[in-house]
Amino acid sequence: MTLVKWTPRPMTVFNEMDNMINSVFNRDWNLEPIQSTKWNPAVDVKETDSSFLISADIPGLTKKDINIEVSDDVLSITGERTEDKVEDSDLYHYRERSKGTFTRSFHLPESVDEKKISANFKDGILNIELPKTKVIEPKSRKIKIS
């Protein structure tokens, strides 16, 4: 028995039709690309002893295009990628880069110090540090029974 590596790809309604046309025309057919106006950047959330770290891949934007907000214990990252100017003479064979708005929201644990959240954006990667509050141990004392 031969094992074949399976690589899934996102499915759309037009996949079967695209496959049929591509098999006939050997991928030389200039199809109008399917464009989405909503997309989500890939995000990693990491926890250390002192903080939570959120990293988001947001290439093609500047820090002016990104908004980070905390409201009711929810951190929201929003932004918009605009479409490159397309001329009538431009001939695209395929377009996969998404355009439009995005929103990513995260419920913050009680241990996050919202006043000390910081962010930086460099080389298309947004890094947000969410420092943890110091855990205050409840004070206890022994009560003498008389």
8 Å CB contact between 111 and 52 = no
8 Å CB contact between 33 and 94 = yes
pTM over 0.85: no
Residue 118 to residue 51: CA distance in whole angstroms: 11
Q: Does 48 fall in a domain? A: yes
Q: Does 21 fall in a domain? A: no
Q: Does 3 fall in a domain? A: no
Q: Around Cβ 128, how many Cβ atoms within 10 Å?
A: 21
Tally of domains in the chain: 1
Residue 9 to residue 15: CA distance in whole angstroms: 10
Q: Does 126 fall in a domain? A: yes
Which pLDDT score is estimated for 88?
74
pLDDT tens-digit map of 94-140? 777 778 899 999 999 989 999 999 999 999 999 999 999 987 777 78
Q: Does 31 fall in a domain? A: no
Q: Does 73 fall in a domain? A: yes
Edge-first strand order for the sheet with 43-47 is 43-47, 51-57, 125-131, 118-122
8 Å CB contact between 127 and 54 = yes
Residues 6 or more apart in contact with residue 34 via CB below 8 angstroms: 12, 14
Q: What is the CATH number of the domain that holds 89?
A: 2.60.40.790
Q: Around Cβ 75, how many Cβ atoms within 10 Å?
A: 21
Q: Does 2 fall in a domain? A: no
Q: Does 26 fall in a domain? A: no
pLDDT tens-digit map of 62-96? 999 999 999 999 999 999 988 777 777 778 777 77
- Give the range of the structural domain holding residue 69, as residue numbers without chain letter: 37-131
Phi, psi at 70, each rounded to 5°: -120, 125
